[in-house]
Chains A and B, each alone.
Chain A
Amino acid sequence: MSVTLDIRLKRANKVYHEGEAVTGVIVLVCKEPLQHHGISLSMEGLVNLQLSSKSVGVFEAFYNSVKPIQLISSNIEVAKAGKIPGGKTEIPFEFPLQTKGNKVLYETYHGVFVNIQYTLRCDMKRSLLAKDLSRNCEFIVHCQPQKAKVAPTPVNFTITPDTLQNIRERSALPKFLIRGHLDATNCVISQPLTGELVVENSDVPIKSIELQLVRVETCAAGVLNACCVQIQNIQIAEGDICHGLSIPIYMVFPRLFTSNCHFYTKHTHT
């Protein structure tokens, strides 16, 4: 006997802000009337931390990683034990997205060491003979957009062979000079990163200029996990571009993998 259980959120993009209500319907589709022992729905927000084995010992990392922090949790009973008629049944629900006490609702975030995830879980208990059904649905929490606008602080940069780090033989590098500016260092996450870049001169023809988005994760608990992960790499120039002509820097932040951000650009010459 087939029955499908599904959770459908009202918002197509599944994005909610604190204080709003998460609304939607539970959709049950079955061919025949269905006996069940109750349907319940729970909402949960968890922070999963995993300590980097670089900053602490391997054992410590193992121990500490298993303690998820609960940000929000609530449970409702959708239907008492009974029967569901055949066909498609939709049961609406609504959760207020409100924390208890002084906890903060962090933004949804998927990182390597930090994971903040919000889920809805619907369970249907059934008789012994049939398996219980359950269904998970993730929704996304965004912070309220900042009220007070941060004035963008443009920053200029220059890249020459001298400014590069992690270089072994500086003398082997060809000469070049690249100037540019970023329009802001503190970016609004929903807005792209913008700026400009000018190749003033370069001894060898340029093959490619790429913009690398690097993520640095730090733990809220105070233990620093300064580990850089490349999130996104975007080519902004291909081939030997015209010298002296400004090239736009433009990057849309990948929504799921970024949160609180710092950037720097990396230019590759090959």
Chain B
Amino acid sequence: FYLERSRGRNYEAELQRCHPEVALVEFGDYHPLKPIMVTDTKTRRGARKGSTSSSSSSSSSVPPDPLSSMLDGTDPLSMFAAASASETPAMSHSRREKEEEAVGPDFEPWSSKRGEILARFTTTEKLSIVTAVVSVGKAPSPGSSAVSEKVRTRLEELDDLEEGSQRELLNLSQQDYANRIEELNQSLKEAWASDQKVKALKIVIQCSKLLSDTSVIQFYPSKFVLITDILDTFGRLVYDRIWTMCSDPRPLPDSFTVEDVNDTAKETCLNWFFKIASIRELLPRLYVEAAILKCNRFLNKSGIQETLPRLTAMIRGIGDPLVAAYARAYLCRVGMEVAPHLKDSLNRNFFDLLGTFRQISGESVRNQLVLQRVEVPEYLTLYSPAISWILQCIAYRAPEPLLTEMMERCKKLGNNALLLNSVMRAFRPEFVAIRATDFIGMIKDCDEAGFPKHLLFGSLGRSLACADPPESERLTILNEAWKVVTKVRSPQDYINCAEIWVEFTCRHFTKREVNTVLADIIKHMTPDRAFEDAYPQLQSVIRKILTYFHDFSVLFSMERFLPFLDMFQKDSVRVEVCRSIMEVFIKHQVELTRDPVILNAMLHICKTMHDSVNALTLEDEKRSLALLIIGFIRMVSFGRDFEQQLSFCVEARATFCNLEPVLVQLIHTVNQLAMETRRVMGGNHSRKTAAFVRACAAYSFITIPSLSSIFSRLSLYLLSGQVALANQCLSQADAFLKAAVSILPEVPRSISVEGKLRSSESFLLDFINNFLATLLVVPDHPEHGVLYLVRGLLNMVQDYTWEDNSDAKVRVYISALPLLAAMSQETYLYSIPKVDSNETLYGGDPKFLSEINKLCETLIGQILDHLKALGRDEVRTNADVQRFCFFFLMIRSVLQKVSRGSPCSPAPEHQSLVYKLGKNICASHIRFV
């Protein structure tokens, strides 16, 4: 009579045998990218029966790299760089000069101003546009031989343009107007493409004529933007055309000179200038010539240099100050683009502008304003884009004395607010910051009637936000500025200005000042729910505060911070604000916290985010919100006060019940808490801590069922079971594992992963394998039968509706075999301290072992049945053969492991059956293959 049992194993010895030899690496020196010298050392190890192994070790001294040693430590590139640096200084000097000439990336280009102006200067008034009926389809026949004929038609066309055939479109809305101008732009391009140069010129002249019309004056800056776009297009077209005329043998280099240009191109270019010089009206002549200013390069070297001052002087002939200011702005814009080194005409422009400044308050302007019912302050703001642009061009890389001179000149004009505003916006912030006190003085001296002061302070604040004024003056500056800001009546104006100054406050002052500022904002914005119209600004205030205050205990100790948040009453905005706060919190909060102020506030914020989730919320939105909340939960730690942490988790669970990822995180946190308790107690729970860890288990146990994802439930049950087991809560662990087994049948056959439906089989198999591994250490419940959980699991696997044609069930059986084998050992492979596994419970009781063996036999029987079925079936594909072979090898190795070395093989008839089957089937199938 043999006692059937598995082979006994000595895990210790096996472990030692399998241990790989450790190659010693000195971590301090080791880096994979460091040069390594491989020294081949052969060591004999007696223990391995004289087998020779070679080990490589990195030497700690860094040996010279053959490449660098050849070059004496300097690599070739840096050598060249060093050589060129010490080369002729003249060359580098000229290069530097060139750099000064060109406009660097720090120059804010016109294109960035464009959109801003278009958005700012709008109107609801009806506009009108005067255009000549552009004759379409009168394209001159290109092959017509009579030149004089062509000339005549051209002249006629020009006459047409001068004389009439014009049509006035009335009652255009602003959008219509913009569309109309865009149409003109298109027809300009078309005319050009179809070689109708005269028509193109006509269109451009017409467009620039529109700029003399100031009938809807609020729209003028936008009109300027739209029309100068067309002019720019035209200038580019002309330039490119003449350029291509010269690029006959090869394209002109960028730095071409007049000598490179051929006669035909010169003649064409000259013709353009003559034609433009004969335009009757001043404004079109001016604008069109400015538009093709760049073409002067083809004619002579000094062309641009001579033309710019002339055009500058020409602008003096424009009577309307607004039209003139914008004409100057255009000239500066073209000048900066074509010849940025010619600063003189820029300055000239500005001084001329100052010279004609008194016109703004002149009689004709006043009459016009009365007629159009436009207030003076509004009228003055129309100037700011033009003047700011001119000043920006002047101030760009300008020397300090020039700026000082400019400022003095502005001062002389009775501290004109409009100018002051532009100076502050255009000049370098550092320049303004140093003189901040002066500026405040000047702002105070301005008369209130003309230009609103809050705009001035807004501009000043913008400069101070980027550059620091002298430290001693900061507080005075803030006081002075805020004194004015707080007096602004209109909430919209107020918040626009206050928003700018918040940055300065945050930058230089402490929470006390910021708190005061916030209080003031709240006071201004609350009446009549003014905050509803100012969400963007209020959000920007929050953003600015968050950039400067990263310490959340300071932030939340500002009394007014949370009341400030309360002003965001529109849900979407509020969530966005909360989100931005959370993002900063997660990014900058380094230490774990238990500060009640932070916790309260953050809970409040997170709750706001959580409460915004509803049925319509997108998956992605939910996920990102959940991530933010999880980030917060991770930062909470009450240190040794585990109970409080648990109660925090309870509270959090109640608060964030709609976001599953948060619940998952909470369960993890609680599990971690239990393990932490165990670590603190060194594995020996006192009565109190035992109760606590049981409470933790209970928390997990009642939280898990509320999750909808079956796999997170499964894995959390398993994990929590393991934690409970580690904490010696046997009945709790049992409950977890039982719960996991009991929901196994619910696992659907396919689940959606990242939006795609995929078979759940592989996930399920993974889980079961993991589960089986845990079962080894789980002691049997005294009231249930032997191997209660294993049987339960196998039963569930048996009953589960697997996919057709799937081997999954058999795979589970196969992986259950090693478990059973391991269970039959005298000492188990692993165990949990303080928990008696079955080894101790049964102490190798033969009844127990025979139970195991019975189970094994059933399993093997099942497996073999499956194999037989596989063998019997007609083999359809190659994959089937592979499948069969795989199982065959698998079962063989499992059986060998289980049976080898034992006094008797568990079931010799089975074994022989396996071999027989294998032989037959393999033989037949391999032939087939």
Whether A associates with B in a native complex is yes
Is the beta-carbon distance between B314 and A248 smaller than 8 angstroms? yes
Partner of A247, one of B145, B267, B279, B317: B317
Min CB–CB distance B635 → chain A (angstroms): 67
Decide yes or no whether B212 CB sits under 8 A from chain A. Answer: yes
Stretch at the interface among B77-85, B281-289, B527-535, B770-778: B281-289
Q: Nearest B residue to A233 by beta-carbon distance?
A: B280
What sequence of 0s and 1s flags, for each residue 391-432 of chain B, a beta carbon within 8 Å of any chain A beta carbon? Answer: 000000000000000000000000000000000000000000
B278 interface residue, CB < 8 Å from A? yes
How close is A29's CB to chain B, nearest CB, in angstroms?
12
Contact with B along A232-253 (1 / 0, CB 8 A): 1111111111100111101110
- Nearest B residue to A4 via CB reads B145
Question: Within 8 Å CB of A246, what residues of B?
Answer: 316
Q: Please, which residues of chain A bring their CB within 8 A of the CB of B363?
A: 205
Contact indicator B316/A245 (Cβ below 8 Å): yes
Complex Cα gap A208–B270 (Å): 28
The answer to the question of A152 belonging to the interface, with a C-beta cut-off of 8 Å to chain B, is: no
The stretch that binds A, out of B41-49, B294-302, B318-326, B782-790, is B318-326
CB atoms of A241 and B364 under 8 A apart: no
Given contacts A12-B266, A12-B267, contact A234 B316 (CB under 8 A): no
If over half of B's interface residues share one DSSP class (helix, strand or loop), that class is named, otherwise mixed; here it is helix
| Given the contacts A242-B355, A242-B356, A245-B355, A236 and B317 also touching, CB distance less than 8 Å | yes
A192 to B264, CA, bound (A): 23
Contact A205 B212 (CB under 8 A): no
Our pick among A13, A237, A250, A254 for the contact of B278 (Cβ within 8 Å) is: A254
Q: Which residues of A contact B281 (CB under 8 A)?
A: 235, 238
Q: Would you call A11 an interface residue if the criterion is a C-beta within 8 Å of the partner chain's C-beta atoms? A: yes
One of A12, A209, A247 near B264 (C-beta < 8 A): A12
User: Which residues 254-312 of B have a CB within 8 angstroms of A?
Assistant: 262-264, 266-267, 270, 273-274, 277-283, 285, 310
Size bracket, chain A contacts: 20 to 34
Please tell me if B359 contacts chain A, counting CB pairs below 8 Å. yes
Most buried by A among B264, B278, B283, B310: B278
B275–chain A nearest beta-carbon distance, Å: 10
A232 touches B278 (CB 8 A): yes
B278 near A235 (CB under 8 angstroms)? no
> What CA separation (Å) do A237 and B281 show in the bound complex?
9
Residues on A with C-beta less than 8 A from B698 are none
Q: How far is the CA of A237 from the CA of B317 in the complex (A)?
A: 4
CB of B313 closer than 8 Å to a CB of A: yes
Q: A235-B281, A236-B282, A250-B310 are in contact. Are A241 and B317 (CB under 8 A)?
A: yes
Inside 8 A of A232's CB, which chain B residues have their CB?
278
- In A165-220, which residues have CB < 8 Å from any B CB? 192, 205-206, 209
Kindly state the separation between the CA atoms of A251 and B266 in the bound complex, as whole angstroms. Answer: 21
In the bound complex, how far is the Cα of B285 from the Cα of A248, in angstroms? 14
If A12-B264, A242-B359, A245-B356 touch, whether A254 touches B274 (CB-CB below 8 Å) is: yes
Tell me the chain A residues, 51-67 only, with Cβ under 8 Å from chain B: none
Which residue among B281, B314, B319 has the maximum number of chain A CB atoms within 10 Å of its CB? B319
Say if the beta carbon of A255 comes within 8 Å of chain B. Answer: yes
Contacts of B316 in A (CB 8 A): 241-242, 245-248
Q: Does A252 contact B278, Cβ atoms closer than 8 Å?
A: yes
With A and B bound together, what is the CA distance between A234 and B278 in angstroms?
7
Closest Cβ neighbor of A192 among chain B residues: B277
Residue of B nearest to A235 (CB): B282
Q: Which chain B residues border A205 with CB–CB below 8 Å?
A: 319, 363-364
Instruction: Assess the A238–B282 pair: CB atoms within 8 A.
Output: yes
Closest beta carbon of chain A to B282's beta carbon, Å: 4
Q: Which residue of B lies closest to A6 (CB)?
A: B145
Docked complex Cα distance between A241 and B313 (Å):
13
Taking a contact as CB atoms under 8 Å apart, the answer to whether B263 and A234 are in contact is: no
Given contacts A206-B319, A242-B316, A242-B356, are A12 and B263 in contact (CB under 8 A)?
Answer: yes
CB of B364 within 8 A of CB of A234, answer no
- Of B270, B317, B355, most buried by chain A (CB within 10 Å of CB) is B317
Complex Cα–Cα for A246 and B318 (A): 12
Smallest Cβ distance from B863 to chain A, in angstroms? 93
Q: Which A-chain residue is minimally distant from B262 (CB atoms)? A: A12
Residues of A within 8 A of B359 (CB): 242
| Per-position binary interface string of chain A over residues 73-89, scored 1 when its CB falls under 8 Å from any chain B CB and 0 otherwise | 00000000000000000
CB contacts (< 8 Å) of B364 on chain A: these are 205, 239-240
Task: Tell me the nearest residue of chain A to B314, going by C-beta.
Answer: A248
B161 to chain A, nearest CB (A): 14
Are the CB atoms of B319 and A234 closer together than 8 Å?
no
Bound CA–CA A172/B145 (angstroms): 56
Supposing A242-B355, A247-B317, A254-B274 touch, asked if A237 and B282 sit within 8 A by C-beta, the answer is yes
Residue of B nearest to A210 (CB): B280
User: Would you give the shortest CB distance from A174 to chain B, in whole angstroms?
Assistant: 15
Q: Which of A13, A239, A240, A246 has the most CB of B within 10 A?
A: A239
Residues of B within 8 A of A (CB): 145, 212, 262-264, 266-267, 270, 273-274, 277-283, 285, 310, 313-314, 316-320, 323, 355-356, 358-359, 362-364
A-B contact pairs, 12 of them (CB 8 A): A236-B317, A238-B281, A238-B283, A239-B212, A241-B318, A242-B316, A242-B355, A242-B358, A247-B317, A252-B274, A254-B274, A254-B278
Given A13-B267, A13-B270, A242-B316, 12 more pairs with CB closer than 8 A: A205-B364, A234-B285, A236-B282, A236-B317, A238-B319, A239-B320, A240-B319, A242-B355, A242-B358, A247-B313, A248-B317, A255-B274
